[in-house]
Amino acid sequence: MARYCVKCGRELGEETPIVNGLCPDCFLRDYGVFRETPVLDIVFCSKCGLWRYHGRWVQPLSIEEIIRRMVLDNQQHYVNSGVEIIEVDEVSSIHRVGRSFYEAVVKMHVLLGSQAIYSVSGIVRFSVSKTVCPQCMRRASKSFNALVQVRSARGRLSDDEKSYVRSVLQEPSIASDIVEVIETRNGFDVKMFSPVTARRLASIINRDRGARVIETFKTRRYDPSRGRREGVTTISIRLPDLVVGDVVSYNGSYGVVCSVSSSGFKVVDLESGVYRSFKFDDYWSKRVVREESVVVKEYVVVGYDSSMVYLLDPMDGSMIEYPRLANLNSVSEGDRIKGYWVKGRMYMARI
Ligand SMILES: [Zn+2]
Ligand SMILES: [Zn+2]
């Protein structure tokens, strides 16, 4: 059956869509893409540049990109029936059209009659207003309800620990609640708006690093209107100071830490050469204690038999023998092994 445009009378093939009885040319000329000119209300934070979209504050973008997304996302409010915008390719020619309005030209790919894609352009109108986002408002007021103090059991955070903490503080769900971060010689003091987010921060660091978390509450005043005490929740987060190679003691035995992970740490027992696993709880409760006065020396394996390993001290050329414990089962000549002087006794371990 032949098909015709009711306006220009052109005969149309099967592949050409008919929208409202019109061929695409007549339709786009008479109706266009938009039922009415889209009017967009663009709101920025004047301090940080965040952009408010659907009630949320999102990362800063160029004005062209914001227009592109808003047109694409809200098109059902603006387009004529039978038209669907597939992509907004370009936003250009931004110019002022009134006291508070601007216009821009948008080039789009649209689908007509769910059938064929056409490249067209249209005009959108928008206003730009500035306000201060809640996050900047809080920062400006400097009021905080929680203080998170990140420290190390060593006294000072290592560079690795510092960069880890900084990266956690940058996670959007945490960052949005931060009032102020003070980096001190010993660690971080993080003022936060909500104790709930402060606890979330603590549980992330606890999960990742086996940190110990202690929460205290300091009353500032009683607020009769809300019927509760107002104050600051202080959360102390302490990172364990265990690293690979540390000597620890437990139940009268000694071991060398050979791996540290988020869930705990493993040691080689220096007496038996057997590997043992511990949780950070064991460390915090002092069931496992780091030994401070340990002298470490390196030896080279020069031979072994079923029961002994023969070691050379490369510093003075002297030889010693040591029982071939479980962790020395697979030694071979030339291996380097560490000797640990602990409380007047030498232990050998390969970690
Ligand atoms: Zn026509
Ligand atoms: Zn802001």
Residue ranges of the alpha helices (H) in the chain? Answer: 24-30, 63-73, 134-141, 159-169, 172-175, 195-209, 280-284
Taking the CA of 30 as reference, the closest ligand is 1
Ligand 1: distance of its center to the CA of 89 in Å?
A: 26
Across the range 88-105, mean pLDDT stands at: 93
Which pLDDT value is given to residue 283? 93
Judged by its nearest atom, the ligand closest to the C-alpha of residue 175 is 2
Note the pLDDT of residue 63: 92
Q: How far is the centre of ligand 1, averaged over its atoms, from the C-alpha of 257 (Å)?
A: 81
Residues lining ligand 1 (ion), CB within 5 A? 5, 7-8, 23, 26
- Cα 190 to its chain centre, rounded Å, is 17
pLDDT at 203: 95
What does pLDDT average to over the chain? 90
**Could you read off the pLDDT of 312-324 as tens digits, one per residue?**
999 899 999 998 8
Q: Residue 228 above 80 pLDDT?
A: no
Q: What does each C-alpha distance from 56 to 51, 159, 176 come to in angstroms?
A: 8, 35, 12
- Mean of pLDDT values over 210-225: 85
The whole-number pLDDT of residue 100 equals 84
* pLDDT value of position 273: 85
Q: Which ligand is nearest to the CA of 43?
A: 2
pLDDT at 3: 87
What pLDDT, on a 0 to 100 scale, did the predictor assign at position 172?
A: 85
Q: What was the pLDDT predicted at 134?
A: 83
- The torsion angle over the Cα atoms of residues 52, 56, 59 and 63, rounded to 10 degrees, is -30
Ligand nearest to the CA of 4: 1
131-186 confidence digits (pLDDT tens): 998 888 878 888 889 999 999 988 889 899 999 999 999 998 898 889 999 998 88
pTM of the full predicted structure? 0.61
pLDDT in tens, 9-22: 898 888 888 888 89
**Predicted confidence (pLDDT) at residue 224 exceeds the cutoff of 80:** no
193, 177 in Cβ contact below 8 A?
A: yes
Nearest ligand to the CA atom of 22: 1
Q: How far is the CA of 28 from the centre of ligand 1 (A)?
A: 10
* Percent of the chain clearing pLDDT 70 (strictly above): 100
- Count Cα atoms within 13 angstroms, Cβ side, for 17: 17
Model confidence at 200, in pLDDT bands (50, 70, 90)? Answer: very high
pLDDT at 306: 87
Ligand nearest, relative to CA of residue 3: 1
Ligand nearest to the backbone CA of 58: 2
Q: Which residues are close to ligand 2, an ion, with C-beta < 5 A?
A: 45, 47-48, 50, 133, 136
Q: What span, in angstroms and rounded, lies between the C-alpha atoms of 311 and 321?
A: 6
pLDDT band, residue 247 (cuts 50/70/90): very high
